[in-house]
Amino acid sequence: MTVRIAPAPFEPARELETFARGRVDVGGIASFVGLVRGEHAGARVLAMTLEHYPGMTERQLERIAAEARARWPLQDLLIVHRVGRMLPGEPIVLVATASAHRAAALEACAFLIDWLKTRAPFWKLEETPAGERWVEARAEDDAAAARWQRAAE
Amino acid sequence: MRIRYFAWLRQRVGVAEEEVEPPPEVTTVAGLKSWLGVRHPRFAEACAAAGVVRAAVDQEFAEDGRSLAGAREVAFFPPVTGG
């Protein structure tokens, strides 16, 4: 299980290759790659800077990863999340899950991205032609995360 | 006690972090918000809008009623937008 904050650009394909290499204990790997969009909320995005809370970020990602492993039979999982300034098209986040069967891998992957969007302390600052603006939290993201809420919570 | 601010709250307050010694009557996150609002009017403004200012005590998300007993670091920030 690997959780990593990346202050410099990373290559999802290379990360996935390393993640999958030599594995004979899994039936499949599910992955999600989030990219910086070149357009958002009606404005061109020239660049984006991700701020985070060092220490707490890692702790929250570890906790979310542990929760995924408790809920699904995963052989392994990987989270890489960029911080700092990046350009449209650059990867922001990579989530990968490895399991004996696809349902567990796919569900856990969706769970991880939904939860990290609402539970890990990252903040997006966009540079647009009109100036800088902080991205606002979306109700849709809260709703997406809420669908994984268990009755006990 | 160390106070940290993130994202646009950091810009509004004008500092990323500061060391403070709240008086003994400040015992909760809500109390600390009010107390800090006196020295940072723009922080008070942000706190006046419901649900905009989130907090963490010693790097754990914390609600307004959370006790500050033993707390070394309290952070304030807007809702998260990662992923």
Task: Give the tens place of pLDDT for each residue, B33-80.
Answer: 999 999 999 999 999 988 899 999 999 999 999 999 999 999 999 999
pTM (two decimals): 0.94
Measure CB to CB from residue B83 to each of A53, A56, A117 and give the nearest one.
A117
Contacts A49 to B, Cβ<8 Å: none
- A55 backbone φψ class: left, alpha, beta (φ>0; ψ -120 to 50): left
pLDDT mean over A117-141: 95
Question: What's the pLDDT score for residue B51?
Answer: 82
Q: Which residues of B touch A119 (CB under 8 A)?
A: 61, 80
Read off the pLDDT of residues A2-16 as tens digits, 9 standing for 90 and up: 999 999 999 999 999
The pLDDT of residue A151 is 56
Q: Do A123 and B56 touch (CB under 8 A)?
A: no
| pLDDT confidence of residue B19 | 98
pLDDT exceeds cutoff 80 at A98: yes
* pLDDT tens profile B1-39: 999 999 999 999 999 999 999 999 999 999 999 999 999
CB B17 within 8 A of CB B2: yes
Neighbours of A96 (CB within 10 A): 24
Q: Name the residue among A73, A96, A86 with its Cα closest to residue A17.
A: A96
CB within 8 Å of A106: residues ≥ 6 apart: A30, A97
Q: What is the mean pLDDT of residues A16-35?
A: 96
Q: Which residue of B has its CA nearest to A56?
A: B59
- For residue A35, CA distances in Å to A12, A27, A66, A72, B19 come to 11, 27, 25, 26, 37
- A82's CB contacts (< 8 A; 6+ apart) are A6, A7, A9, A10, A50, A90, A91, A92, A93
Q: What integer best gives the mean pLDDT of chain A?
A: 95
Strand A91-99 to A74-82 pairing: antiparallel
Whether residue A153 is predicted with pLDDT greater than 80 in this model: the reply is no
Q: How far is A113 from chain B (nearest CA, A)?
A: 7
Tokens representing A25? 């204990």
CB contact (8 A) between residue B82 and residue A117: yes
Residue A87 reports pLDDT greater than 90: yes
Token couple for B46: 């942000």
User: Can you tell me the ipTM of this complex?
Assistant: 0.95
Nearest to B76 by CA among B49, B48, B55: B55
Q: Any idea what the Cα angle at residue A43 is, between residues A42 and A46, rounded to 5°?
A: 150
CB proximity A92 to B under 8 Å: yes
Is the Cβ of A82 closer than 8 Å to some Cβ of chain B?
Answer: no
Please say whether the beta carbons of A95 and B57 come within 8 A.
no
